[in-house]
Structure 1
Amino acid sequence: MTAQAVSDVLAQLYREVVLGASLENEGVDYVCQLVPAIPGHCCPLLPAAATAPPGLGGHSPDAGAHERVLLQLTVIQVMVTRVLSAETHPRARETYREILNRLLKSSELDLKLTSLLPGPEKLLSHMAAKCLALLLYFQLREEVPLSQSWVNFCHESLCEPPGSRPEACLWVLSAIIREAIRDPCPRKSELLAPLLTPLATALDKFYDGLFTQLPDPSKGLHVLLAALDLLELLVAARIRGHWLDPCRRLVSQTPSRVLDIVTWPVPAFVRRKCIVFLKKCLLCKVGEDLGPASVPAPQLPDPDLEVDTAALADVVLRAVDSGLLRTLPAPGKVARFGGDEIHPSTPSGPGTDQVLLRAASLLVTKSLEIQLQNCASAKEMKGGVQRLMAQLLDFLKPHLPPTLQRRHPCAWLSWVFIEQDDDMLEAARVSLSIYLKVTRADNTPGQGQPGGAAWARHSHESGCNPHCTFLFLLGTLGFDATTLLDFLISSETCFLEYLVRYLKLLREDWSHFITVCAQLDSSAKPGREGVGGARDPGSLLSPACATRSLVAYDSSDDSESGESPEQLLSTGELEAQETPKADVAGEGGDLLSRAMRCLSHLHGAILRLQQKTLFPYNPAALVRLLGHVEAIHGGRGQVPSV
């Protein structure tokens, strides 16, 4: 068969496989056309002109040989994807499976592909890595033993000095684990064991060497990034199924060592990557962006994971006490649609790396929350909160707008997280948890409440007073009940947990809430430094905040009335621009009125959706709490009997 004939067969095969169609000929007829022609690996079934494509070290007169090898790799990748897909017709799937099995047995395909990793031809090397990763995962799914040539390649790569070939091996391993996380197949613990067991010792030694010897930034940076990517996927796999027994030591101990990289002379984006990774480890959200199948399934608590998370939190807080935050300068380019290039006539100034600020803030506060679970005395808890939150606020202060630096310390959370709703709500939940933990320890039986007033004052100074945080959160959202409803319905935030816990606190701590509202109202008056004004980072309690909605409720097929969000919410007009009068004289003025009006609208909206059976879960407990709070407000502070 001529080279052109092989290309024609491959082109037709590609078109059929992309569609998932059954093949005209027997599977064995296509095997020889799919064997890539790699220099040094002779294939007698292919024409001589196809054995040394340009760019691979040969001098073939066939100018299409290079493209033919790329097409062969592409067809193999698509064929593997079709075999793994549940949408492929069974007959076509069996044909593709037969071709791949014959290809793996007869051609030493994995050995040929590893010879291209890495190579001078970047595109070909990348395609070979992708193809190899999918073929290895296909073998794992088919329970076909992995070849010794692949294991040898990994051992040789991981034992070589950084800058040689480790990144190719790390990339292929990452691609396999990423595919496993995305795959809905339930046998993941069985799938990855044959891959990781023979490599566990080599991986341990590789990471030990990586963290004990500072890599050359000009040569080892890409190896470091590949190692961080693989570590993140290993941790994500562990969180989702406990299927990494061979690498348990690696995923247990290595994340805490990532903190060392922050002090290395590496680019800012590497430091940011490390901080974001550690934040996700503490939140158990590593790998959440890998697709629907990557969402952790409900499972029994993992005591080992909890122990490792607590150890990581302890390492983080010790590093903060040692000055970690001072090594995290957060300069950054201001985000602009269309890229970072700025026209010379456009005024520009130093920006702030908001991603780093958010990640570092959550890293510290979440670590503090975890550490408080193991503290016995209220005094120790208060000391830790005040010391660590003071360092966090000192770290954030240079990056806050000048107006916000002079205002209430609790305003930091809403400003830092204003562009990231899920992180903002997680930070609010963590801040509330810290406050409740200290408060409950301070009010244990036999101790009384001698430090209650002092702790309330310190919670303001430390930026973690829950009432201030809630009011600033509402201000950030424009006191818009529609947005709160969106958060409650969304599965991407922890707002339901946060709101339920806060409403329980509000029901018990109503007088403190009124005091906070009055203080913030007073500080917002002209001539007084405090919170108020238009919507900007320094005045987050303005009534003139724009509203937004994440869900189009009137587009629901189940809705008979087709009411808009405003109609569902209306128990009167819903005008964010209108500043309502005080409902209760002397009880916090406008701020209390706006907050309660927002909660009242939310209460009414939930009831309406519940009556129409449009609410996605049973909100009875939440509705009851909202009703209690409304009753307290209407009764001028009298807590109703439950």
Structure 2
Amino acid sequence: MEGNMSCKDEDLSVMTGLFNCLTEAYRCFLAGSYPPQNAADVASVIYSGFCGPVHGKGREGSPSEYCGENSAELTCMCMSFLERVSSNLTSQGLHPDVRFYYAEVLKVLLEDMDLITHLVKRFQAEDHIISHLAAKTASNCVFYLVCKSGLISPAWQRKCEQAFQNPWPGAELDACLWSLTEVSKKLLKGAHRELMTLLVGFDLTLSVLCSKLLPEEKKHMSQHSVDFTRSSHWGTSLCLLLDLLEVLTSSSLVCGAGVRLKSQRVTHLHSLALLNICCSSEYYVKKRVLLLLKRAILQKAGEDWISGDVASGRTCGNWSSDMSILARTVLKAASDNWLLSIQMQSGAFFGGTRDILGDQMQNWDCMMLRAVSLIILKSIELCIQTAAGSEVKTATEVHAYLQSLWGFLRQYRFKQRAVTHLCCWISMLFGEQDDDMMEAAKALLYTFLHYRLTSGMDEFAVLETACASGFNPHCHFVLLLQSMSFDYSILLDFLISAETCFLEYFVQYLKCLRDDWQGFAAACGRITMSDCCLSQQKKLGADRSTLKCKGEPDKVESGSCVIPPAGRLGMASELRLVEYDTSDESDSENTVESVCALNGKPYKSTALLSPRPEGLLQPVLQSEETSRANMASLSWQLTGEISVRALHCLSQLREVVTRLHTKKLFPYNPSSLLKLLAQVESCYQKSHLSQCSKS
């Protein structure tokens, strides 16, 4: 009994001494200095706190026998200190003398004491804090060794390979996945050449891991001895695998010329398995999968980590084929009613999520809806661009894909809204995300051009079909201009910014506008007509039910789904993408008149901001024929104003870009863009003169 008490007292005394030494060393490190002990002594203290005394009797084996109840705290302190030291040494943020001292500490620990071997043993600890701290510390130490010597720790690599070859969802697999992801991400951020060396070493085992965790079909799952999806820990392990897949996919963008590794192609090659996961897994896993597929198909995987040239990876021999595989797989799944199997939940907010009761309007997860929409739209675009559109052979296929997407969105986002013009769905869904909205608009523009080329229909029929399916690019552009109050400075911001694909979209659309001005004019009328139709229908219904007094003003109210977030001409300044004081202070009458003056014809404003004509104050029970006549007259006037304001916005944009380019303040050569803008102005003037001559 006394012997046991003596042993415990001895252990407690040793632990107290180790704790005091570590505390002193940690405080010195945080203060930017080093303790009075030499580096070898500090390394011995860290090792003893983690693994037990170096020369203790009967202590060779297990830290659990040595440390007792308080071992976890001492172990966590040792790992936290070591993780902090290795991280600061890598970042070069220490004074040279201090850096030299702690570099000696790490040298003793990693080379003489082989501490990484002991760290990776803690990956399978039941205590999740210890397991994660061990993975974090080991990752920093491995990265430090790579930066210092270009070598990868054999003990760490061996541990990860063993976990990947015989995977089972749990602490060990999670720690290995997280650690490899972290090391790869650090190498990717710094554009280290050792990244490819690391990935080559793991290429085979990662392929084995993905084939087991991501089977192409559910029947393949039964071929394994264990169904991973039945494990309660499977969702966590899968999310960590998805994080690793994003790093691997992004690493292929900076691989340079040559053939990509199989592990870098997993997201594309196993896209069917990823799509299947979206149909059956937990919602947070489903969301993570869709976001990965979205970034992959937008070629933006890991864009926050990559410091090199992201375009270089697209020259790899199998990059185009992999993107084609991904796009074809998505469209094949869409044709097999994959969209119908995706279940949405309400959007998250600061309080979490909540159930909808009674007749409350459901606020669906717009992030998921945007991801699904972009995956479908970009897949159509990629298949159109692949082999001159051979992947999407007919216009009927394009129409079917868009109809299936619209059917999916109608279940959720637009279920409780009366959508009269489907082209407004982009503004409704993507209005909060400029980058996603531009990607969607660009994809639909290419879809429209392909449809026009392959449908065999005349221009009018093509435009009607495009509006019926929501992919008329003229409508999208008009709605975009309306959402920004026809403010050219916002277009200028988009042109200068590298955060969106607006430049590519804008150039392609201007070419389309130059060749199809009549389609643009028709879109202006179509948007105005749908607005007026909905307003008149609402008013007639209200008149019949409430019997308003004769002479009460007729308010043209915008439907919630007809006009994008920033609304109508008269309400556009209320909600804006970006606040510009000059836009609100500008005179809408002068804006329109300045363009009409170019045509030598006076202009009378019919803007919604101006007083309504007396003729539009309708009797309570007027005939529908009279209402339609007045509506058509108003629509014709508003159509002219919308096109004039749009042209004036583009004209102002051309002038300011020209001035900036002349002063060498524009970030790139805009000559082609300026030429297109001038051609669009010329098309407008010719169209206006033609209308004047007919009248």
After TM superposition, the score normalised by the length of structure 2 is 0.77
Distance (whole Å) between structure 2 residues aligned to residue 465 and residue 529 of structure 1: 26
Larger radius of gyration, structure 1 or 2?
2
Output aligned runs, 1:76-225, within 5 Å: 76-141=82-147, 142-148=149-155, 150-152=157-159, 154-156=161-163, 158-163=165-170, 165-194=172-201, 196-197=202-203, 199-200=205-206, 202-207=208-213, 212-213=220-221, 215-216=229-230, 218-225=232-239
Q: Kindly state the Cα deviation for residue 466 of structure 1 after the two structures are TM-superposed.
A: 0.7
Structure-2 separation of matches of 1:50 and 1:245: 42
Is 1:415 matched up with 2:415?
no
Unpaired segments ≥5 residues, structure 2: 1-12, 222-226, 540-555, 593-605, 611-632, 691-695
Cα distance in structure 2, aligned partners of 1:452 and 1:98: 75
What letter corresponds to residue 503 of structure 2 in structure 1? L
CA distance in 1, matches of 2:49, 2:23: 16
Is this contact kept in 2: 1:52–1:60, CA < 8 A? no
Partner of 1:313 in structure 2?
327
Quote the Cα distance in structure 2 between the aligned partners of 1:638 and 1:58. 94
Report what 1:372 is aligned to.
384
CA 1:323 to 1:624, structure 2 compared with 1: closer, same or farther past 3 Å? same
Cα–Cα, structure 1 residues 434 and 95, in superposed 2: closer, same or farther, change >3 Å?
A: farther
2:53 pairs with one of 28, 39, 43: 43
Distance between the aligned counterparts of 2:654 and 2:416, measured in 1? 34
Map 1:487-506 to 2 at 5 A.
Answer: 487-506=494-513
**C-alpha separation between the residues in 2 aligned to 1:28 and 1:297?**
47
CA distance in structure 2 between the aligned counterparts of 1:461 and 1:241, rounded to whole angstroms: 43
Instruction: Flag as ranges the 4+ runs of structure 1 deviating above 6 A.
Output: 46-53, 341-344, 567-575, 584-587
Instruction: Tell me, in whole angstroms, the C-alpha distance in 2 between the residues paired with 1:391 and 1:175.
Output: 39
Matched, 1:542 2:568: yes
Contact 2:487 2:649 in 1 (8 A): yes
CA 1:209–1:341: 2 relative to 1, 3 Å: closer
Please tell me whether the aligned partners of residues 164 and 206 of structure 2 are also in contact (alpha carbons under 8 angstroms).
no
Q: How many residues align?
A: 609
Q: Which residues in structure 2 correspond to 1:177-326 (within 5 Å)?
A: 177-194=184-201, 196-197=202-203, 199-200=205-206, 202-207=208-213, 212-213=220-221, 215-216=229-230, 218-241=232-255, 245=261, 247-248=263-264, 250=266, 252-264=268-280, 266-288=281-303, 290-291=304-305, 293=307, 296=310, 298=312, 301-326=315-340
Asked if structure 1 preserves the Cα contact closer than 8 Å seen for 2:651 and 2:677, the reply is yes
User: Partners of 1:185 and 1:538 in 2: how far apart?
Assistant: 50
Q: Which residue of 2 aligns with 1:527?
A: 536
- 2:477 and 2:196 map into 1 onto residues whose CA distance is 42
**Residue 116 of structure 1, CA deviation:** 1.9
Query: 8 Å contact 2:421–2:562 — kept in the other structure?
Result: no
Which residue matches 1:395?
Answer: 408
CA distance in 1, matches of 2:193, 2:590: 51
Two-structure CA RMSD over aligned residues (Å): 4.0
Query: Which one-letter code corresponds to 1:139 in the other structure?
Result: L
Question: Does the residue aligned with 1:293 lie in a helix, a strand or coil?
Answer: coil
State the one-letter code of the partner of 1:326.
Answer: L
Taking the TM superposition and a 5 Å limit, the aligned residue runs for 1:321-340 are: 321-333=335-347, 335-337=348-350, 339-340=352-353
Query: Could you tell me the percent identity over the aligned residues?
Result: 25
Distance 1:311 1:472, change over 3 A: same
- Paired residue type of 1:71: M
Q: Deviations over 1:367-399 (max 9, x none)?
A: 111112346679933111111111111111132
How has the CA–CA distance of structure 1 residues 201 and 387 changed in structure 2, closer, same or farther, with 3 Å as cutoff?
A: closer
| 1:603 alignment partner, one of 645, 649, 654 | 654
Q: Write the distance in 2 (CA, Å) between the matches of 1:115 and 1:298.
A: 39
Q: Deviations over 1:477-511 (max 9, x none)?
A: 34333332222222110111111111111111111
Instruction: Give 1:457's aligned residue.
Output: 464
- Amino acid corresponding to residue 130 of structure 1 in structure 2: K
Residue 444 of structure 2 corresponds to residue 431 of structure 1: yes
1:47 and 1:565 map into 2 onto residues whose CA distance is 81
Distance 1:4 1:119 in 2: 24
Instruction: Please give the alpha-carbon distance, in whole angstroms, between the structure 2 residues aligned to 1:627 and 1:598.
Output: 13
Deviations 1:338-387 (A, max 9, x none): 5447999x995422111111011111111111112346679933111111
Residue 462 (structure 1) shift: 1.9
* Alignment correspondent of 1:445: none
Distance 1:603 1:248, change over 3 A: closer
> 8 Å contact 2:378–2:443 — kept in the other structure?
yes
| 1:584-617, Cα deviation, whole Å (9 max, x unpaired) | 9879223223322332333344345445544333
- Could you report, residue by residue, the CA deviation over 1:434-465 in whole angstroms, capped at 9, with x for unpaired residues? 122333456xxxxxx75443322222222111
Task: Give the secondary-structure state (helix, strand or coil) at the position aligned to 1:414.
Answer: helix
Letter in 2 for 1:454: A
> Does structure 2 conserve the Cα–Cα contact (< 8 Å) formed by 1:571 and 1:604?
no
Shift of 1:143: 2.2
C-alpha distance in structure 1 between counterparts of 2:311 and 2:99, whole Å: 28
